[in-house]
Amino acid sequence: RASSCTPRRPTSMSPVFQILNGTSAEAAADGGGGDITFPDDFPNSVKHFLLIGAVGMMVGAGIFLYLSMIRTKASLYHSLAFIMPAISAMSYYAMWTGMGVEFKTTDTSPRVIFWARYIDYVVTVPLLLIQLALIAKADTSAMVASTGNSVLFVIALLIGAMNVAPFKYMWWFGGVVFAVLIVVQLAGRYENATDIAKVLNTIGIVFIVVYPLIWLLGSEGTASLGLSQEVAFLTILDLVTKVGFGLYFLLNFEAATGDEVGPDGEPLNQQSQQYV
């Protein structure tokens, strides 16, 4: 008796994996038996890294929330440290479940684009720079400049991801220009900074420098990196920048801010927290 069940797609190699390894889109779709959908057609390694990112961000957010709740007074630093991985946890979980992911076929070769990551970055990168500005006790104009440049940085790369070559590389170049402006500003904060603040500043600079390089080599750019490699590198970069940054900062809070702390855990030098 003939089975009434719909034939299942072979699970040995997903169509996306075939395409990223040189098989044409048509052949991959024919061989796979249907349209490409996510998360079903993610390579297993991509699923694993996205899940690692989601769980890692959730754990980090939970730790930062706990550190914030045990304080006698609310702290802006702790709140920002919590919000960053909380947003990224939602982003990674969304991507792991296939939301905010597109199979782009209009470029020179089919690409997998993670739109949810841009929603994440357009919020969390400015938050990262706000924290660095607060630690450096930068004035309001410097804080607005760095956060504004970070928003433009992410938007330029987002528009680049929507475009095809050669136009997308012009948007990438625009993003790099904003990245340079951010790095120049951060590089000027090392003088008179505490050792902890210097480490945190370096983490911020590394993120701003490395992300455009991965963009260029990954799916949005030349696709020189495999999808699994791209997702792995970005997951590690995100965990270091958000969870690693937050842990190192909050566990060395007094040394990072350079302020004396009273019995309630708040800086005694309240004037240093004012911005004009």
3-class SS of residue 134: helix
Of 250, 256, 31, residue with least CA distance to 133: 256
How far is it, in rounded angstroms, from Cα 69 to Cα 8? Answer: 49
pLDDT at 14 (0 to 100): 53
Of the chain, the percentage scoring pLDDT greater than 70 comes to 81
How far is it, in rounded angstroms, from Cα 250 to Cα 62? Answer: 13
Length of the chain counted residue by residue: 276
pLDDT at 188 (0 to 100): 94
pLDDT at 74 (0 to 100): 83
pLDDT at 157 (0 to 100): 97
pTM here is 0.83
pLDDT < 70 stretches in the chain: 1-34, 258-276
- Give the pLDDT confidence of 78-88 residue by residue, as tens digits: 999 999 999 99
pLDDT at 16 (0 to 100): 53
pLDDT at 25 (0 to 100): 45
Burial 97-111, CB ≥16 within 10 A → b, else e: ebebbebeeebeebb
Domain residue spans in the chain?
15-25+34-257
Count Cα neighbours of 238 within 13 Å in the Cβ-side half-sphere: 30
3-class SS of residue 103: strand
The CB-based long-range contact list for 90-93 (8 Å cut-off, 24+ gap) reads 90/120, 91/116, 91/117, 91/119, 91/120, 92/50, 92/51, 92/53, 92/54, 92/57, 92/235, 92/238, 93/54
pLDDT at 31 (0 to 100): 47
DSSP-assigned beta bridge partners for residue 113: 102
Contact between 235 and 53 under an 8 Å Cβ cutoff? The reply is: yes
CATH architecture of 15-25+34-257: Up-down Bundle (1.20)
